[in-house]
């Protein structure tokens, strides 16, 4: 079928920003004298901040008192996210081509609005997405479909006519639960092995399948 819109995850899809979250977690944990290893943290990619911190504190056998860490985490994370970085390969080319074809596109990210704004600024994409749905706009984070359903609603298209571009298991699950065509892109430094639940796997957005996209 021909799809009418494209919805991108942000961290690990548009920008190689997932390492900033990992670094911020460990910087926040410095006062405890404990650190979480990357191998243990990796399975939390794409989850909400509440899930991430609950699981991290469990791993380290620390009291599950998330609110004791969140203010410091947000402060440190914003500093990390504001560091300049290039968009991942193919990002500019894809959104330019979607613009040229008059195909609507959006972002659906598990980051909250201040984090989204920081990443967009860091990669020079501020203002490129007319529609963006952040974690603070929904009640049920990925892998629930709510964030993708909301993005489709704001774009004015049925969810099943959308392509979702993701890099994590919760993200792909969210897109599939919303009845979207899910592409797993593996361009970031935190890329996972091919996610079998996805409909297509690509190395970078330079391989984006434009043959699937039609005009609205």
Which residue numbers are catalytic? 9, 11
Q: Which residue has the tokens 């409909």?
A: 199
Which residue intervals of 125-199 are DSSP H helices? 146-155, 169-177
Contacts of 68 (CB under 8 A, 6+ apart): none
Radius of gyration of the chain (CA): 17
Cβ atoms 185, 13 nearer than 8 A: yes
Residue of 186, 157, 213 whose CA lies nearest to 12: 186
Cβ atoms 88, 14 nearer than 8 A: yes
Residue of 94, 137, 112, 122 whose CA lies nearest to 8: 94
């Amino acid at each position: 079928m021909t799809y009418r819109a494209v919805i991108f995850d942000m961290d690990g899809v548009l920008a190689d920003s997932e390492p900033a979250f990992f670094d911020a977690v460990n910087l926040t944990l410095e006062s405890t004298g404990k650190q979480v290893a990357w191998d243990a943290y990796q399975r939390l990619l794409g989850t909400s901040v509440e899930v991430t911190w609950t699981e991290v504190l469990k791993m380290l056998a620390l009291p599950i008192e998330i609110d004791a860490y969140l203010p410091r985490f947000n402060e440190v994370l914003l500093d990390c996210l504001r560091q300049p970085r290039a968009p991942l390969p193919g990002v500019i080319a894809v959104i330019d081509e979607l613009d040229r074809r008059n195909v609507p596109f959006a972002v659906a990210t598990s980051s909250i609005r201040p984090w989204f704004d920081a990443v967009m600024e860091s990669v020079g994409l501020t203002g490129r997405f007319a529609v963006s749905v952040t974690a603070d706009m929904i009640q049920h984070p990925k892998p629930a479909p709510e964030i993708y359903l909301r993005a489709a609603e704001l774009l004015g298209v049925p969810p099943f006519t959308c392509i979702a571009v993701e890099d994590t298991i919760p993200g792909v699950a969210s897109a599939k639960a919303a009845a979207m065509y899910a592409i797993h892109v593996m361009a970031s430094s935190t890329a996972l092995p091919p996610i079998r639940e996805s409909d297509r796997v690509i190395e970078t957005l330079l391989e984006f399948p434009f043959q699937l996209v039609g005009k609205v």
